[in-house]
Structure 1
Amino acid sequence: MTLFPGVALVTGAASGIGRATAISFALEGCRRIAISDINLTGLHETAKYLKEVSSDVDILVNQVDTQEEAQIEDMVQATVAKFGRVDYAVNCAGVGGTRERSTDLTAKQFDFVTNINYRGVWLSSRFELAQMLKQEPLPTHDGRAGNRGAIVNIASQLGIVSTNNAPVYCASKAAVISMTKSDAIDYSKENIRINCVCPGIVDTPMTQGESGFTKALETSIAIAPMNRRGTPQEIADACLFLCSSKASFVQGHAMVIDGGYTIN
């Protein structure tokens, strides 16, 4: 029996961690997957990969700007209209922003990062929770008591420790961690699990190129004992574990996956 007999919803699924997570759900036997992102071309590429690894997977593609509340609500409603429920939600949509001190940032730059990394994750989780409250648990892989749903939010190692010239990014990811813990307390009595993953530097489009955000990464990689970037698959593996019934007693956890960066 698959660990994932229910419905998966993955935001930020056009590339990177979101794409790897969606593909991993299909590889692990989930047959109903909703994917969303603002990048429609990337979403269709992800959908193609899903079909390549699982010919019988049923896919829903939603183009969503997570700065827009109505679009997030429509995403969840469309998923329920097609599949009947939402069991595993992984909120991956995020941005890096610019590398500047606070006095060099504009309020517009602050709002852009905060609105996607924190507000967008909060809105996504809010609508996902509202649906999960309406549904009953699915059977589990070994007969243990199941949950009505599981949510995994993508935070960052920089929500735990900070770095220079990234006040808004660090604060937005710290907010996701704190929100996750608070929601975990509030919805435990309704049998819904909410956790987050805190990746280190992962080889994704956001950490590639010549932007100010990416130029400072090599020093950070060298600080970590494992001295390398993570892969999107390594983060996806953690997301699937936290969504699965094998993590049925894991609640409000911020799982750090950073090659040892935060322990050094």
Structure 2
Amino acid sequence: MSAWDVKGKVAIVTGGGSGINHAFVEVLLNAGCSVIVADINLRPEAEATLAAYPHPAKQEGSPSAVFKKTDQSNWAQLNEMWDFSLKTFGRVDLVCPGAGIWEPPSSNFWIPPGTSDIAKDDPNAAVGQWYTFAVNTTGPLRLAQLAFKYWIENKIQGNFLFVASMGGYCETVSTPLYYASKAALLSATKSFAQMRQRLGIRVAAVCPGPCYTPLFLPEWAAAKVRPTDFTMTPKECAETMLKVASEPQYGDGNIIEVMMMGTREAPRLNVRHVPYDKLLPEGVGTLGDDNNIIKEEEKLWAHLPVNGMTPM
């Protein structure tokens, strides 16, 4: 497999108004990739980035950045943002649904809906869903649906990069919704592992370790990760994200962990493949070659290039 050059491409980055995702926006722009920054709002550093890369670009062929106010939990806003991106740049090559929330008191397992004014999720919703899951899981998967449909129909070798978390395979009693919401993204990433081989579409996930970002500015989250803690920087994480999005050894459902290790005196950024294959059944199990599940998957793979994402 060859490298995937971001230069001259167009990316959507949700959550690009702050933190790791803003750092990724800057890394992409510096590499020559234009970006739709989709977020609820922009921090001053993100506003400065947009000012430095105006759209239309000052010079023909140079990258530019455009802000589109978007709540990742809102499907109507995701649809609007997608159409806006195509209208603005004519195409979309890379999608990174990086927006996420750290199980706030308003959508928290330990503060059930309807038991406190703090809890904002509707306990009587016809289709019940925690806002934490709507942002962290359902929104990214809906964006994957929009992107895959567009790329398959237009024969584009697209690139989808999930932003998960080490929390997707670790555990904590205090924020189970956050951890479960990120675990779902990892399962989806592995489900899409053959997309590049079959359809030319790269899919991978990055799992950041501790990193101090505005995610931890609210009072209820401030004790989780502090600015004085020994962590990697958003830029260090974003540079790894660019490698995962572009280097040839990635893009086949890879799950890549990135975290700072060592000591303050001798820090070391550790990047590794998360060994999900060790969870597979040993020997011939329920997913052996003679299983009907595999046969039905082959029907889907044959259907998609010809008919796109339509009923079989």
Per the shorter chain, which TM-score range?
0.7 to 0.9
1:152 to 139, 161, 169: 161
Following superposition, the deviation at residue 248 of structure 1 comes to: 5.8
Letter in 2 for 1:72: L
Residue segments in structure 1 that go unaligned for 5+ positions in a row: 138-147
* Aligned partners of 1:7 and 1:83 also within 8 Å: yes
Distance 2:217 2:259 in 1: 17
List per-residue Cα deviations over 1:79-111 (Å, max 9, x = no partner): 1122222111111100012379x8723245570
1:24-173 correspondence to structure 2 within 5 Å: 24-30=27-33, 32-39=34-41, 44-51=47-54, 56-98=62-104, 104-107=110-113, 108=120, 111-137=130-156, 148-173=157-182
Higher RCO (C-alpha under 8 Å, 6+ residues apart): 1
Change (3 A) 1:134 1:183: same
Provide the secondary structure at the position in 1 that maps to 2:193.
Answer: helix
TM-score using structure 2 length:
0.68
CA distance 1:249–1:41, change in 2 (3 Å)? closer
How far apart, CA to CA, are the structure 2 residues paired with 1:22 and 1:233?
10
Aligned-pair distance for 1:237? 1.1
How far apart are the structure 2 equivalents of 1:21 and 1:229? 17
Pairing partner for 2:201 from 192, 198, 201: 192
Secondary structure at 2:188's aligned position in 1? helix
Q: Which residue identity lines up with residue 71 of structure 2 in the other structure?
A: D
How many residue pairs align between the two structures? 241
Larger Rg over CA atoms:
2
TM-score by length of 1: 0.80
Q: CA deviation at 1:134?
A: 2.8
Q: Which amino acid aligns with 1:22?
A: V
Q: Distance in 2 between matches of 1:208 and 1:228?
A: 17
Identity across matched positions, percent: 26
Aligned mates of 2:93, 2:102 — CA distance in 1: 28
CA contact (8 A) 1:153 1:196 kept: yes
Aligned to 2:255: 254
Partner amino acid for 1:182? S
Cα offsets for 1:219-243 (capped at 9, x unmatched) = xx99xxxx72111111211221222
Listed one character per residue, the Cα deviations across residues 178-224 of structure 1 (whole Å, up to 9, x for unaligned) are 1121123356411101111100111210124532x331336xx99xx
SS in structure 2 of the partner of residue 217 of structure 1:
coil
The CA deviation string for residues 34-82 of structure 1, in whole angstroms up to 9 with x for no partner, is: 111011566644412445xx85433232111111111111211211122
3-state DSSP of counterpart to 2:252: coil
Contact 1:14 / 1:46 at 8 angstroms: preserved in 2? no
**SS of the counterpart of 1:133?**
helix
Which string of whole-angstrom CA distances, capped at 9 and with x for unpartnered residues, describes residues 233-256 of structure 1? Answer: 112112212222x23653111110
| Structure richer in helix, relative to its length | 1
Structure 2: gaps of 5 or more residues:
114-119, 122-128, 262-269, 275-312
In structure 1, distance between residues paired with 2:110 and 2:142:
29
Greater shift in the superposed pair: 157-166 or 127-136: 127-136
Partner residue in 1 for 2:17: 14
Q: How far off is 1:4 after superposition?
A: 2.2
Please give the alpha-carbon distance, in whole angstroms, between the structure 2 residues aligned to 1:248 and 1:85. Answer: 25
User: How has the CA–CA distance of structure 1 residues 3 and 240 changed in structure 2, closer, same or farther, with 3 Å as cutoff?
Assistant: same
